[in-house]
Amino acid sequence: MSRPDGEGEIEIKCKLGDLSITVKGPPASATAFIKDITARQLPGSSSERPPSEGSFDLVSEVDPVASVSGRLETRDQIASTFAACPAYLQKAGEKLCGSSTVGVERAKRAWVAGQWAAAVVSGRVHSPNRSPQLDLRPRYYVVIRAEGLSTPTIFKSARSYWAVVGELATSSSVSHAFPSEQEARIYLAGASIADFDISA
């Protein structure tokens, strides 16, 4: 997730079911709006289904380089240092279904996202690269870093996630949302995190 741009506005892209929504405006208003619509149920969905938890990404422009030990790294240079997704995690990804993106690619996506998260936490870059969008709504929200959070945590609801990260525009949190717990775990593995909590 990226920081707001220099003009005091952020742009957030939200995927809710088969809808794609882009919101641009003041950070507090944009974040509040996204919180509201991701907590609602999709039109025409079964009343027995839980409220929809749409995916979201800040898509404001980010710095192309970051300072590391007095030198500059481009995003391409950072990405070139990432390890390939291990075979056993790709194998686990084969079981993921329900999307036009095959399971192995979803596993690789989560792995790369985890490595970007690790790069952010280590100070190599201000924000991670955006992950390719999936045609599934997220159900698991991984927070690696957030104010007041002592242990990386997988949250099973958008409400719990928002309670921890607050406003995306002003938060120093590092997080990602996924359709499956398996992808959430692969993300954490990509970030080299073995100890984490799972919370409702």
pLDDT tens-digit series, residues 109-137: 999 999 999 999 999 998 899 999 999 99
Residue 90, both tokens: 């790709």
CB atoms < 10 A from the CB of 113, how many? 23
Q: Let me know: does 99 contact 173? Beta carbons within 8 Å.
A: no
192 vs 188: CA distance, rounded Å: 6
User: Tens digit of pLDDT for each residue in 29-87?
Assistant: 777 677 666 665 555 444 443 433 344 444 333 344 444 444 568 999 999 999 999 99
Instruction: Give the tens place of pLDDT for each residue, 142-176.
Output: 999 999 899 999 999 999 999 999 888 788 899 99
pTM above 0.75, yes or no: no
CA nearest to 165, candidates 185, 141, 188, 140 = 141
- pLDDT category at 15 given cuts 50, 70, 90 is low
Give the pLDDT of residue 48. Answer: 41
